[in-house]
Amino acid sequence: MRNTTLFKSIFLGSLLLLSACEDFLSPELDNSLQEEELLKNPAGVEGLLLRAYNLLPNDYNFNLDVASDDAVTNDRTSSFQKMATGAWRSNFDPNSKWSNSYQALNYIHLFLDKYESADWSNEEPAIKEGHLKRLKGEAHALRAWHNFQLLQNHGGIGSDGKLLGFPILTKALSIEDNFQLPRNTYAECVKQILDDCDVAIANLPVKYVNVGTDPVINNTIGSRFTNRVNGNAVKALKSRVLLYAASPAFAESEVTWEQAAKATGAFLKEAGGLTTVSAKGLTFFKTKDDPEIIWANSQVLKRSWEENNFPPSLFGKGRTNPTQELVDAFPMLNGYPINHPSSGYAANNPYKDRDPRLKEYIVYNGNSIKSAVSTYEGAAQDGINSLLTSTRTGYYIRKFMDSGVNFAPGTNVVNTQHFMTHFRFTEVLLNYAEAANEAWGPDSDPEGFGFTARKIVEAIRKRAGLKLPDAYLTAITSKEDFRNLLRTERRIELCFEGHRFWDIRRWNDVASMTLPVSSMTISTDQTKFTVSKVEDRLFQPFMVYGPIPFNETLKYNIVQNKGW
């Protein structure tokens, strides 16, 4: 395959990301370099892989939460708000990953085609071997990641009635190749992703740590590579892929709940079982060293999360407004749902004796960030609908926000260190609990992992600070009732991390997709609490699956998902 021209153009684009290569970038008169010259610079070849890293998500914007039943936004120009209220089309898909993922895949394939041919002669043989092994693992891991983005966003029941994924690519395309590729089946796409995961796992360390002064380990898989994908991250990705494939919306995928439970359970047992329930996992976003975190990007000094989401009294835009439905999902301190007769819930004092996670994750009337926030009707600035930047639901997001950030006019602006987490153990634990419950029920451990679905939920709720003994958890015995509890725990623990939008779709939960979302209006004297509809959700049942981009369907007869 003749891909020299393509290699040069993409290579040069990726090199622009590497500040360490400025001298090498001095162009010739024709502003191009021959492939032979490029291969003399192994750091430049590695730049192809770094470009695929650069196309990973690197920030929380809470857009998918706004498109789910967990939040609305006061930003009336938001494309995700439009998406949720009837504008989602194959030619208007703000969450499409088609272009981004295929661009990343092309960089990965160019890298895989070239990295072993690069001139690594300056490295000692053992270091070269370890370096190339790690790079191979990273490339396959990133291919698995970007392929899953395609599967998650664009896989579904095609207009031909078959469960389809995306067109699988395993090489870089040249101008002579056929671009009109059919979609592979969903099962074939899952297999491709899992195969890449297995290659990556075989070549990557579980995490990057230094070993004394060992030059080979420290220079190939040491702590200097901490922000790169590691073996545990790939196992977490594999867990997520299998969970999705086993879910009701993808029942024809040939993946079973038992397969998902076995793979995830083996990973958790190897990682320490219930000890992976980190004591500080509720606020994992405060320190990158928390053992809860499996893989995260680098810390960046910024204040955009707070600027966009602080209440207006703190000079924020109040963008992300949690819904009453999300607030109602948090149980009481005694573990009972608020609608249970034994809960003790008081409608005229709705935030008293609630699950401590509510206070940690959501700003409600009287809760604080820097100081107490008033969201009642008529309250200056932060009150519901008081300003264009005020909450529409009576709530602001507190999770991920750093109260130390300050950008008040006339004061010294204070930023903070933020990072985005790609995988953390609580997700993996909940993945296992869901798959194990569906496969074997809440209390069975046929593989001898040393934990059950119930034990995991018990550990997570205990960490959350719910009162013990947890009578409600103990009383649930059926798979069906435990399923509902698990889904609620997942909603609470992973809120604002981009999971809910996909969870309700893989569960085929059309009701949660399409029911209106609500707000809480509190009277000025704070004695009357009224729940009202704040926004309709105008998704159609076929929107369990996202569309193939409209432009792709214009290029050739690629099968579109049903309904689009």
Across all residues in the chain, what is the average pLDDT? 93
Angle at 80 between CA 147 and CA 494, to 5 degrees: 65
Average pLDDT estimate for 28-41: 61
Band the pLDDT of 413: cuts 50, 70, 90.
Answer: confident
In a domain, 197, yes or no: yes
CA distance 53 to 402: 27
Segment holding 108, helix H or strand E: helix 98-114
In a domain, 156, yes or no: yes
In a domain, 195, yes or no: yes
Asked whether residue 54 carries a pLDDT value surpassing 70, the answer given is yes
pLDDT (0 to 100) of residue 283: 96
The residue with tokens 């369907």 is 553
In a domain, 304, yes or no: no
Average pLDDT estimate for 123-141: 96
| 155 CB-contact burial (10 Å; exposed 0-12 / middle 13-18 / buried 19+) | buried
Return the higher-pLDDT residue of 122 and 6.
122
Average pLDDT estimate for 460-483: 97
SS3 57: coil
Q: 235-263: per-residue pLDDT in tens?
A: 999 999 999 999 999 999 999 999 999 99
* Domains: count for the chain: 1
| 345: amino acid identity, one letter | Y
Helix ranges restricted to H, 287-401: 304-309, 324-329, 356-361
pLDDT (0 to 100) of residue 39: 79
In a domain, 385, yes or no: no
CB atoms within 10 A of CB 164: 28
pLDDT (0 to 100) of residue 33: 54
Q: 161-213: per-residue pLDDT in tens?
A: 999 999 999 999 888 888 899 999 999 999 999 999 999 999 999 999 999 99
CA distance 428 to 240: 8
Tokens of 469: 């003994």
In a domain, 53, yes or no: yes
Domain that holds residue 247: 4-62+93-253
Domain of 111, CATH number, reads 1.25.40.390
In a domain, 127, yes or no: yes
In a domain, 214, yes or no: yes
